[in-house]
Structure 1
Amino acid sequence: MFHHISIRTADIHRSISFYECLGFTVGERFTTGYTLACWLEGLGGRLELIQIPEPQPAPDSFGDEHYVGYYHLSFDLTDRTPDLTTWLNDFTTTLQTAAQPASIVLLAPTQQIIGTNVYEVMFIADPDSLPIEFIRRLN
């Protein structure tokens, strides 16, 4: 059984606020022995945020076609929105209301065929520039 995905962040409070705007809620706050951490639950999964005391910039996993390793989180919004453009506009408004910086759109909503299915796909970046995919099945 899948338990969680762990994300290292430069500013845990900024990241908590961002992921709350996506619909996550904080389950537990704790320390790892040397830094702050928390569980977040939402969109059908669980994330662990860990604040890194002396953060270094993350590699550009989205833009570097030679990068090997963690690529992105992906959330299925098929049952949550009629289209990703509407969802992105609502999310942008939610960020503004929460006084969060605008999210960077890495790939605007577009259609992609995977096997016999057609999907609407888009990517944004979280506060630490990690790519997040949102996907909707169209057929």
Structure 2
Amino acid sequence: MHHASIRTADIHRAIAFYEQLGFEMCERFTAGMTLACWMKGLGGRIELLQVPQPRPAADAFGDEHYTGYYHLSFDLTDMIDDLSDWLASLKIQFAQASETGKTQPLTILLEPTQQIIGDRVYEVAFVADADGLPLEFIRMMGTVKNF
């Protein structure tokens, strides 16, 4: 996949949020009259597009009847050893950044939990981005046979 595109109400707020996650700016550009950028991080690339007259996003995480794109998922298996520790550190980082006005405190949608998919055991957590869109962070812990 080349990138995932995210429409945002405030591109500067969204950039600050994704920078806290470790993303870096690649390109700034306009799409028509809309501000836009590409950012790289966590093994992928996103495109942020500012919406001129934004409406609130659908509650893709909380509305069990919502249909459409659900979330972006970032595989942290090769980057971290423990999802709970990583998320705790991220909470502190966002809290400190919010004190300076760079971003809002981190909103956790789902604390790290184990999930079995096929024969693999994963740690899974969800947070909300600057516009409330769900982001999943996943780390493979091993196979069912190893547990």
Normalising by structure 2, report the TM-score.
Answer: 0.91
Q: Deviations over 1:31-52 (max 9, x none)?
A: 1121100000111111000001
What is the CA distance between 1:96 and its match in structure 2? 2.6
* Aligned equivalents of 1:51, 1:29: Cα separation in 2: 12
Counterpart of 2:131, as a letter, is: D
Alignment of 1:74-93 (within 5 A): 74-93=73-92
Alignment of 1:1-139 (within 5 A): 2-99=1-98, 100-139=103-142
Identity across aligned pairs (percent)?
62
Aligned residues: 138
> Would the aligned equivalents of 2:110 and 2:125 in 1 still touch at CA under 8 Å?
yes
Counterpart of 1:130, as a letter, is: L
The root-mean-square deviation of aligned C-alpha atoms, in Å, is 0.9
Long gaps (5+) in structure 1: none
Normalising by structure 1, report the TM-score.
Answer: 0.96
* Aligned equivalents of 1:17, 1:90: Cα separation in 2: 17
* Aligned-partner SS, 1:92: helix
Long gaps (5+) in structure 2: 143-147
